[in-house]
């Protein structure tokens, strides 16, 4: 028998087939999301993806696994990109596109010299960074952009889980609720007083599931589908069997460093997120992780195109760098979209001399910047003093040996990668298998 896990990522949609007898995946694969909504102005603050494209690819991939193992699928788990939201009517029909975590409308000026994010945070007493669903909702509500007929908000994985399960309702895990914002982690519920202070309608915020593994409904009337998880937590579950002894560094489109904690007290720049089994995760998030490297790859690709070549820029990056961890003489700040604490921060390239502006040094500087930001966040966590084993996940680490080597250099410990890929999808499958116990 098998459990299927789905991960609705920003750039790809991933699938895992977990063998319940061995506890390890027998198959993993991913497909490009291809759902980004293009905008004419590259400087506009909006970031959206087409829900119909996402749902079509999820359905196709899931169907292929179910058909290949008739009668052998015991459970289905779902995870995906956190913080973004979709607007739904009473029948759970989307009223527009998915607004992703990369959306920056919360950075727009609002009132009293504050942005939408800053104003919402000051009024409610909750730190609600740009890209979080509560900020998006607040901006759209006061700007008159909230679609007519909206009855509930959800993350993309909540929506997909509801559709696959046939439940007809949105039931949100505390992990995803905390990722939207205006959530009281101590009580495990949205902060109604804060929502009212913001002038928002409490009924727009969905029902919260328990921390236990909750069956939302059944796929095609037979296979249990569990409540969706956040991808950060799912990656942890999918990477190790006992998360309490490990720290997780994940580099995907964004990047995070995470540690299990029993404390609700957060260090500056560190979030405390719901996990499982009554535990929490201390999480340091960098908005630009693999995305920073993608910017550099795009520049290299432009140069290759102009020269009449056709090489993959990521192949060039790996060919130039190998597994080197030598620190670059160039200093590259890869915080191109700011930080959770300060969205106004921007990236830079400095320490340039007349001799050191080379391709190798530029690539090395970008990789140093990605690794350095994660390590700096890690040092803020009191739990780091326990010297946990370091686990790596995400395509950014798997596909770039030099980045892995730099993280090992900066953290002072070896990075172990799971033998299988698509860790978040594997985590969703493992979580769903709990529903069978």
Number of domains in the chain: 2
Q: Which domain holds residue 373?
A: 241-417
Q: Are 83 and 146 in contact (CB under 8 A)?
A: no
| Cα-based angle 337, 122, 138 (whole degrees, multiple of 5) | 70
- At 17, the pLDDT band (50, 70, 90 cuts) reads very high
What would the pLDDT profile of 386-403 be if each residue is shown by its tens digit?
788 999 988 888 889 999
The Cα–Cα gap between 42 and 44 comes to 6
- Whole-number average pLDDT of the chain: 92
User: What residues does 258 pair with on adjacent strands?
Assistant: 248, 283
Q: Which backbone phi and psi does 190 adopt, to 5 degrees? A: -65, 145
pLDDT of residue 271: 87
Residues 194 and 317 in one domain: no
Tell me, yes or no, whether 28 and 141 share the same domain.
Answer: yes
Q: What is the CATH number of the domain that holds 245?
A: 3.30.420.40
Tell me what the mean pLDDT of segment 344-361 comes to: 94
Looking at the structure, do residues 252 and 298 belong to the same domain, yes or no?
yes
8 A C-beta contact, residue 97 and residue 50: yes
In terms of DSSP bridges, do strands 229-230 and 73-80 run parallel, antiparallel, or are they unpaired? parallel
pLDDT at 289: 81
Question: Residues 344-370: what's their mean pLDDT?
Answer: 94
Dump pLDDT digits (tens) for 227-244: 999 998 998 899 887 888
The answer to whether residue 368 scores a pLDDT higher than 80 is yes
Q: Are residues 347 and 427 in the same domain?
A: no
CA pseudo-torsion sign 12, 6, 82, 286 = negative
Res. 196: pLDDT tops 90: yes
Per-residue pLDDT at 349 exceeds 80 = yes
Q: Which ranges constitute the DSSP H helices of 111-251? A: 116-124, 133-142, 156-165, 174-180, 192-197, 231-239
Same domain, 263 and 282: yes
Tell me: the pLDDT tens digits for 132-174? 999 999 999 999 999 999 999 999 999 999 999 999 999 999 9
Let me know whether 116 and 245 are in one domain: no
Q: Is the domain of 227 the same as that of 356? A: no
Banded pLDDT at 437 (limits 50, 70, 90): low
Q: Is the pLDDT of residue 429 over 70?
A: yes
Closest listed residue to residue 15, CA positions, set 71, 69, 80, 70: 80
Q: pTM of the entire structure? A: 0.85
Let me know whether 177 and 293 are in one domain: no
Check: CB of residue 136 under 8 Å from CB of residue 106: yes
Helices assigned H by DSSP within 282-422: 290-306, 313-321, 359-379, 395-398, 401-411
Pairing of strands 223-226, 98-99: unpaired
Q: For position 344, what pLDDT does the model report?
A: 83
Residues 248 and 220 reside in one and the same domain: no
Judge contact between 28 and 422, C-beta under 8 A: yes
- Domain shared by 151 and 109, yes or no: yes
Distance CA 314, CA 301 (A): 9
The position carrying tokens 């949105």 is 170
Integer Cα distance of 183 and 347 in angstroms: 31
**Quick one: what percent of the chain has pLDDT higher than 70?**
99
Residue 162: DSSP 8-state:
H
Looking at residue 205, its pLDDT comes to 97
Query: Which of 9-18, 269-278, 332-341 has the highest average model confidence (pLDDT)?
Result: 9-18
Of residues 291 and 116, more confidence is placed in 116
Average pLDDT over residues 335-348: 84
**CB within 8 Å of 128: residues ≥ 6 apart:** 106, 117, 120, 121, 134, 135, 181, 182
> Which residue do the tokens 């001399």 mark?
353
Return the bridge partners of 233, or none: none
Q: Output DSSP code: residue 51.
A: H
Q: Cα dihedral angle (219, 223, 229, 235), rounded to 10 degrees? A: -120
Task: Note whether 276 and 374 are same-domain residues.
Answer: yes
Average pLDDT value for residue range 19-29:
93
Do residues 270 and 224 share a domain? no
Query: If you average pLDDT over residues 33-53, what whole number do you get?
Result: 89
């Amino acid at each position: 028998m098998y459990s299927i896990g789905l991960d609705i990522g920003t750039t790809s949609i991933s699938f895992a087939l977990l063998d319940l007898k061995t506890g390890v995946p027998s198959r993993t694969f991913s497909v490009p999301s291809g759902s980004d909504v293009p905008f004419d102005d590259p400087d506009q603050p909006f970031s959206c993806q087409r829900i119909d494209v996402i749902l079509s690819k999820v359905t196709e991939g899931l169907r292929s696994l179910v058909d290949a193992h008739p009668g052998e699928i015991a459970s289905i788990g779902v995870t995906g990109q956190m913080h973004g939201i979709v607007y739904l009517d009473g029948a759970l029909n989307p009223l527009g596109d998915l607004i992703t975590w990369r959306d920056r409308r919360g950075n727009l000026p609002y009132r009293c010299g504050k942005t939408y994010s800053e104003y919402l945070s000051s009024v409610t007493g909750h730190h609600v960074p740009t890209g979080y669903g509560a900020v998006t909702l607040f901006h759209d509500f006061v700007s008159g952009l909230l679609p007519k007929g909206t009855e509930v908000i959800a993350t993309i994985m909540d929506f997909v889980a509801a559709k696959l399960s046939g439940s007809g309702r949105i039931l949100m895990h505390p992990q995803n609720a905390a990722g939207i914002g205006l959530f009281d982690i101590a009580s495990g519920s949205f902060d109604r007083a804060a929502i009212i202070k913001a002038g928002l309608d409490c009924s727009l915020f969905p029902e919260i599931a328990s921390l236990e593994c909750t069956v939302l409904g059944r796929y095609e009337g037979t296979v249990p589908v569990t409540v969706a998880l956040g991808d950060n937590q799912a990656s942890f579950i999918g990477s190790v069997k006992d998360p309490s002894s490990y720290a997780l560094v994940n580099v995907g489109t964004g990047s995070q460093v995470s540690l299990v904690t029993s404390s609700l007290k957060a260090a500056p720049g560190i979030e405390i997120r719901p996990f499982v089994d009554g535990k929490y995760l201390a999480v340091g998030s960098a908005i630009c992780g693999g995305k920073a490297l993608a910017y550099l790859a795009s520049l290299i690709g432009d140069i290759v195109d102009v020269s009449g070549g056709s090489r993959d820029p990521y192949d060039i990056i790996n060919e130039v760098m190998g597994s080197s961890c030598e620190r670059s003489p160039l200093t590259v700040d890869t915080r191109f979209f700011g930080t959770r604490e300060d969205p106004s921060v921007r990236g830079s390239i400095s320490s340039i001399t007349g001799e050191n502006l080379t391709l190798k040094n530029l690539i090395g500087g970008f990789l140093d910047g990605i690794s350095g930001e994660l390590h700096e966040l890690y040092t803020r966590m009191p739990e780091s003093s326990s010297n946990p084993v370091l686990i790596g996940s995400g395509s950014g680490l798997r596909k770039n040996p030099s980045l892995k080597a730099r993280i090992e250099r900066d953290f002072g410990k070896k990075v172990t990668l799971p033998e299988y890929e698509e860790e978040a999808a594997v985590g969703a499958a493992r979580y769903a298998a709990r529903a069978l116990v």
